[in-house]
Each structure stands twice: as C-alpha cells, then as structure tokens.
C-alpha cells in the first residue's frame, strides 16, 4: 500500500509540474500576438494582489470559471481545490461542513465554532447554518489554506473561504439566467443595477432554485433530497468624493426544502424492514409523527443580514476601512435518525443565531512597506433546542414515548487587535511580520431534561412528565491568545516567487450543550472544553513559464495540532437496566496530531485553443496522542474528513462558432478514502471514488448571450458524504448515510447587457 501511494505521489507531482490549476478565462485562439494566461487578482491579504505574487496557498475561482463549469454551490469547488472538503451537513441543504488540511467542524450545534471561516464580502459568518452559499451574482471565490490569524476578523485555524460579490457598474446592467435540468430542475436568476446619479448606484439580484428530489419517501410519496430555495441580495453604493466609497448591502435566503433523510445501512432490527435498493429513497416518518409536532413537522432555514462598508483613501498612502454587519438565521429542522416510519429515534430541532460585528482597518502602502492594523469585535448568540424522541423504547419500557430535551444558548463576546506588514528588504526579498491578540469570552446556559411523552413541554406538550434533569448549569470562560505569523518571500524574477512561512492558529474553547453535568464527569462538562492550537510551517513556489502560457504553484506544509476539539455523541443507560435510553454529547481535546502535505495547482495552455488545468494534494494526517482513561488510544483514532489523496484534471477546448465562442470542458476529480468520525464506521466511511463532469458553453462575441449544457457525475457514482451512527440508541440499529448527487444534466441560457 505504501509503495502504491508513493507511486501515486510521484506520478501526480510529475503531472502537476506540467499541468496545474488557477484559471484562464480569455480567448486563446486565432491571435496574432503571443497568448498568455490572464492575471488573477485576489485579496487574500486585504489588498489587491496578483495570485502569483501573494505568499499564501490560495485557490481562486473567477465568475467566468464558475459559469463555464456550471457550478451551482460552493460544495462543488472541493473537487478542484487541493486539501479541501465541503459538504452539506448531514440532513440539510444549506448548512456547511468544511475541512481544509484536516481542520474543520463536523457538528453544527451551538457552542461549536467552525475551524474554516466563511466570509461574505469580508463579513465573518459565525454559524454554519445558511453558509452553504449558492453561486449567483458572484465576482470571485477564494479558498485560503492554512491559519489566517493576522488579517481576518476571526482567527480561522484551518483556512478561510471568501465569497466576493460584484460591485455595481457605472452603466445600467441587466443579467438573466435560466437553468432547466434533471429531476425537474428549474432555476432562475435575475440581477440588475442602475446609476441614480454619477455618485449613487443601486442594484440587486434574486435567485429561485428548485428541483425535485433524487429519491422519494416510499410511504408518503414526498420528495427526498429536493431543493426549494429563494434568495436575494441588494446593495446601494455611494461615492461622495473620489476618495470615499460607501456600500450598504443586504441578503436573504429562505430554504424551504423537504427534510432530507438518510439511507439505512441495515434492516430494521425490530420491524424487519429491508434495506432499500435506491440510496436516495426513505421510509422516514419524522415530519408526520407526534415527535415533531412542536414544529408542525416543519423544515426551513431562513438567513438574512445587512452590512455597511466605508472605504476612505485618506491620502495616497493611507486607507481607512470600516465593516459593520448584523446577521441572523433561524432553523426548524426535522431529523429522522432511524429513517423509518416509526418514531424509533426522531428529533425536532430549532437553531436560532444572531451576530453583530464591527471591524476597523487602517492600511498603509508605500514603495517598500505595505500592511494594515485592525480591530475586530463580535457579539454573537447561538441557541439550540431539540427533542430526541425514543418512541419504541419508551412505549416498551414506560408505555409512552421517552423524550430527551436539550436547550442551550452559548454567547460569544470577542475582540481582537491584529496587524501585518510586509517590508521589501531588497528588490527581491520581502519580510512579512504579523500578529493578533484575541480575547474571547464564552457564556453558556444549558438545560437537559428527560420526559415521558412526546414532544417535551418546551415543544408544547403540557402533558409531558419530567422524570430527570441531566444538565442544568450556567458558566462562562474567557480565552486569550497571541498568534504570530512570519513570512519570507523571494522573487527570483518576474516569473518565479518562493516563500517560507510560520503561522499559528487558535480557536477558543466553549461549552457543549448536550453534555450531562449532573453525573460522573459533570464538572468537566460544566467547565467546557479547552481551546485548540495549530502551528504551521509552509514553503511554496509560484511560477509562470513558457512565455506566460503555464502557471505552476506548489506548497508543502507541516502542522502541529494541539488539543483538537472533536465533538461526538454517546448513548447512555441512565437507569442501569442494560438498555441505552439517552445520549450525551462529548468533546475530546485530542492531545496531539500531526498533519503534513504537499499541494500543487496551475494551468497550461497546450495550444491557443486548448487549456489544461489540474491539481493534486497528498496529505498525511495522524493522531499522535488521544488519552482515554489515561491510555493513549491514538492508534485507533483518525482525523475526520481528510483524504490522503485528492486530484483534479480538466481540459477546455475553445473554437469560434456562429459569431461567438464554443468551449467544451471535460473534468475528472479523484478523492481518496475518508473516515467521517474519529473511529472507523464501515457503513458510513467512504472509499476512494472519482467524479466525471462535462460542459459545453457557447458565448456570443460581445458576451451578451450564453448557452450551456452541463453534465455532473456522469458515471452516476454513489458516494457517501455524511451519516449518523447510533446502532444502540433506539431499537432498530440506527445507522443512516447521506449521499452526494447522482448523475444530472442541466441546460442554462443567459442574457446580459
């Protein structure tokens, strides 16, 4: 096996050295002068820079790239971004699970913060609900790998994903796009802007995204894995002078898709229901059972926000920026852990989150010195209330349903000061020094109770009888940390830049609202879990060669991960009768882990018509210390959602056709095997798999009209993305699995001026 992996590594690096990925989006045929790759501008360091000069491992996707490939949401970017895993969180359409270089967060409960930060126009999204962003009205998406602790509002341990929307045009503009495809897909996106004067512009976009389910509920006939999303953005831009820019923008998303139910891996242990042939079908009944009557079986996510941006060029060297934002989201969700009609293990869940953030930046730029200092403040509240109903077990043991209620709110008040400056020691050598001081206060108010009857009194059942309280506490803790960053980069010539960097990432501790503090180990639950720390060493090279026709970027890194926060859930036997009748949340601060890897990406213009793009990443992620009752069980633990091998290869051929350009793109992506949790669960873990996509896109010469046909997962691969593992909670051997989308075809047509 090791020999095989080494062969793959050498072959992939050899391929990557010839063909790698970053993006080309211009005509590449029939030119009278030398054709080169277009320059990509990124804002990874909070200023406009060429992708090839910024000393950070970053992958950028332009609007043209996204349109050409028919990308619909950001999870698809994980196919072509090294060391990145992006998935819908288990039973959802719009909650994001993100991992970069082995760092991420599996559970979207209150009290847990993402290891990968999501930014919408430089506003940090504190909770994962509603962050699985649909791709519309976008200018660029950037994925930054490695700790981002000295330039961003929150100290992202694993990396950051930046979603950058378009600024409004000085001229009236209108863009229309319609998509029609498999499973009765009907999408529509309209965006428009108009200048009200030479100083004021207004614009917005609205998207309606709809699709039938990939499967169905064979008992009720309802769609499973369907999509019903309405979203819009609006903005007002004002330039009172040539030195001042003001933008006020708002967005709203309403995901009214059906509950998403998983595929049972085993027959019903009591009812004997067989495993269904189609992995997208279900027998789930949670949305109609009494267990979720407190939310009327509703399943909906609403997220909205408003933000204000002020940019003031004080003089030719100094710029002041203020970013003010308020966001909130509300979720009612139905979860059927058993995916059966019976209420063996059902849940009604409410998430209610809000956040206010304020960031100030003062940037300086001169011939030799560039950088900024900043202040960031976050006031956020994350609450969740949910019933876990063990219907069959309760009726056997007590003659009525058994319900475990969990209610909790975790509040965050955090502030930080940060800064980073780069100094050109010589024309070739530059030194960057950065640092951040974080003060993060977490406060929790947690209550867990067990009831006879369903739902609990919190969800409106006045006749439910409380028989136990397993958690009832309030507590708060403050976490403080300084995290530095040092970068040394050297420019050999206009085409080759190298860098070495040292950086630290930090994520504060918090409290698990699912933990039981009234029992053994309760004091640990009440005190919460500790912060995690990541130290990363990185070396990289960014090069352009073959007269600008090839671009190769390679990064190698080594990370020491300490006190990694790993959440989980365990069934418990509260009355000692040998049957698990409740569950508790657990958070392990895994003592030590080592994550190292190499990533390569770039683009190569084979001919004036043909562009080949590819990337590859090889990761070695290992738990070194995991203490359980004083014994190191690291050999039996693994880093979640982190494949050893990932690769991507795409070819785009462009030719003139009917007063326009016709581009044909074919792509292949490969992801190695992963474990979903820290221990192996064969029913849920995914072996290595490949995806094949293809697109044909025609664009008129003036860019006014576009038409495209996009095929995704052409081999119709069935691949697992998430799951629930509760074989001993409930009576039916409850292990359920969620899958990525099957083969689909989509036709798109667009018009803009």
User: Average pLDDT per run of 10 along the chain, which is 753 residues long?
Assistant: 36 34 39 58 72 85 85 87 90 86 84 87 86 76 88 81 88 94 96 95 94 96 95 94 96 94 96 97 95 93 95 96 96 95 96 96 94 95 95 94 95 95 95 95 96 96 95 96 95 93 94 84 87 96 91 96 88 81 83 95 92 96 91 93 96 94 96 93 96 96 95 97 93 96 97 91
- Which pLDDT value is given to residue 69? 85
User: CA 434, CA 44: separation in Å to the nearest integer?
Assistant: 14
- Which pLDDT value is given to residue 638? 93
Q: Tokens 């959802």 correspond to what residue?
A: 92
CB count in 10 Å sphere of residue 521: 12
Could you name the CATH architecture of 2-752? Beta Barrel (2.40)
Reported residue count of the chain is 753
In degrees, rounded to 5, the angle at the alpha carbon of residue 355 between the alpha carbons of residues 353 and 359 is 160
- Which pLDDT value is given to residue 34? 47
Tokens of 413: 């008040």
Pairing between strand 223-224 and 215-216?
antiparallel
- Which pLDDT value is given to residue 3? 36
- Which pLDDT value is given to residue 17? 34
- Which pLDDT value is given to residue 588? 87
CA 279 to chain centre: 24
- Torsion sign across C-alpha atoms 599, 603, 606, 610: positive
- Which pLDDT value is given to residue 39? 72
H or E element in which residue 482 lies:
strand 465-493
Bridge partner list, 515: none
Contact 19, 646 (CB under 8 A): no
Tokens of 412: 């965050």
CA distances for 654 relative to 227, 230, 710, angstroms = 33, 34, 16
Bridge partner list, 223: 216
H or E element in which residue 18 lies:
helix 2-18
543: three-class secondary structure by DSSP: strand
| DSSP track, 432-469 | EEEEEEEEEEEEEEEEEEEEESSS-TTTT-TT-EEEEE
Tokens of 275: 């495993």
Tokens of 432: 């960057």
Give the residue extent of every domain in the chain. 2-752
CA torsion, ordered 610, 15, 158, 433, to nearest 10 deg:
-90
- Which pLDDT value is given to residue 664? 96
- Which pLDDT value is given to residue 43? 73
């Amino acid at each position: 096996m090791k020999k095989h992996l080494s062969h793959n590594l050498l072959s992939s690096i050899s391929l990557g050295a010839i063909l790698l990925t970053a993006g080309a989006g211009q005509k590449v045929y029939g030119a009278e002068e030398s054709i080169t790759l277009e320059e990509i501008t990124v804002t990874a360091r909070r200023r406009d820079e060429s992708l090839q000069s910024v000393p950070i491992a970053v992958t950028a996707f332009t609007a043209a790239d996204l349109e050409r490939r028919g990308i619909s949401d950001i999870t698809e970017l994980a196919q072509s971004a090294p060391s990145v895993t992006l998935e819908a969180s288990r039973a959802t359409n719009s909650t994001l699970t993100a991992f970069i270089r082995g760092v991420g967060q599996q559970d979207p409960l209150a009290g847990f913060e993402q290891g990968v930060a999501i930014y919408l126009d430089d506003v940090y999204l504190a909770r994962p609900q509603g962050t699985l962003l649909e791709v519309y009205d976008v200018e660029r998406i950037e994925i930054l790998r490695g700790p981002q602790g000295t330039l961003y509002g929150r100290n992202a341990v694993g990396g950051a994903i930046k979603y950058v929307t378009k600024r409004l045009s000085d001229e009236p503009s209108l863009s229309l796009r319609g998509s029609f495809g498999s499973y009765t897909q009907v999408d529509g996106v309209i965006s428009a802007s108009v200048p009200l004067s030479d100083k004021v512009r207004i614009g917005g976009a609205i998207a309606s995204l709809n699709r039938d389910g990939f499967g169905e509920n064979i008992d009720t006939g309802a769609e499973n894995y369907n999509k019903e999303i309405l979203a819009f953005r609006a903005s007002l831009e004002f330039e009172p002078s040539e030195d001042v820019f003001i933008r006020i923008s708002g967005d709203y998303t309403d995901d009214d898709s059906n509950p998403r139910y998983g595929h049972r891996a085993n027959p019903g242990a009591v009812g004997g229901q067989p495993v269904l042939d189609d992995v997208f079908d279900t027998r789930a009944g949670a949305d109609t059972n009494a267990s979720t009557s407190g939310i009327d079986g509703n399943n909906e996510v609403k997220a909205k926000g408003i933000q204000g941006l002020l940019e003031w060029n004080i003089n030719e060297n100094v710029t002041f920026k203020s970013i003010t934002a308020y966001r909130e989201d509300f979720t009612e969700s139905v979860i059927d852990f058993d995916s059966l009609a019976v209420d063996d293990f059902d849940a009604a869940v409410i998430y209610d989150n809000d956040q206010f953030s304020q960031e100030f930046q003062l940037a300086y730029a001169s011939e030799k010195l560039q950088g900024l200092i900043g202040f960031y403040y976050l006031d956020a509240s994350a609450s969740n209330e949910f019933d876990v109903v063990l219907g069959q077990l309760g009726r056997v043991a007590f003659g009525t349903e058994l319900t475990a209620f969990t209610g909790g709110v975790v509040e965050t008040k955090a502030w930080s000061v940060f800064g980073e400056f780069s100094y050109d020691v010589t024309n070739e050598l530059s030194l960057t020094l950065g640092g951040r001081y974080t003060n993060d206060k977490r406060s929790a108010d947690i209550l867990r109770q067990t009831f006879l009857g369903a739902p609990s009194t919190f969800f409106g059942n006045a006749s439910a009888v409380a028989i136990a309280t397993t958690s009832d506490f309030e507590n708060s803790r403050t976490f403080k940390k300084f995290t530095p960053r040092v970068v040394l980069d050297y420019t050999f010539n206009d085409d080759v830049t190298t860098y070495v960097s040292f950086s630290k990432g930090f994520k504060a501790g918090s409290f698990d609202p699912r933990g039981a503090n009234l029992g053994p180990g309760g004091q640990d639950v009440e005190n919460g879990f500790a912060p995690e720390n990541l130290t990363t060493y990185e070396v990289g090279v960014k090069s352009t060669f073959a007269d600008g026709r090839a671009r190769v970027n390679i990064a190698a890194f080594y990370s020491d991960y300490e006190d990694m926060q790993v959440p989980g859930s365990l069934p418990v036997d509260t009355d000692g009768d040998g049957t698990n009748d409740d569950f508790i949340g657990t958070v392990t601060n895994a003592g030590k882990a080592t994550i190292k890897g190499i990533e390569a990406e770039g683009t190569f213009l084979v001919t004036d018509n043909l562009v080949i793009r590819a990337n590859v990443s090889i990761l070695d992620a290992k738990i070194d210390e995991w203490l359980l009752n004083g014994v190191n069980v690291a050999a039996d633990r693994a880093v979640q959602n982190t494949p050893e091998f990932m690769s991507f290869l795409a070819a785009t051929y462009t030719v003139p056709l009917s007063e326009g350009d016709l581009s044909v793109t074919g792509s292949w992506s490969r992801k190695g095997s992963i474990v979903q949790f820290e221990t192996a669960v064969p029913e849920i873990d995914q072996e290595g798999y490949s995806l094949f996509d293809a697109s044909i896109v025609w664009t008129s010469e003036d860019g006014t009209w576009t038409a495209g046909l996009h095929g995704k997962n052409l081999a119709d691969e069935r691949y697992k993305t998430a799951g629930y593992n509760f074989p001993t909670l409930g009576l039916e051997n409850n292990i359920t699995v969620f899958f990525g989308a099957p083969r689909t075809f989509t036709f798109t047509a667009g018009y803009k001026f």
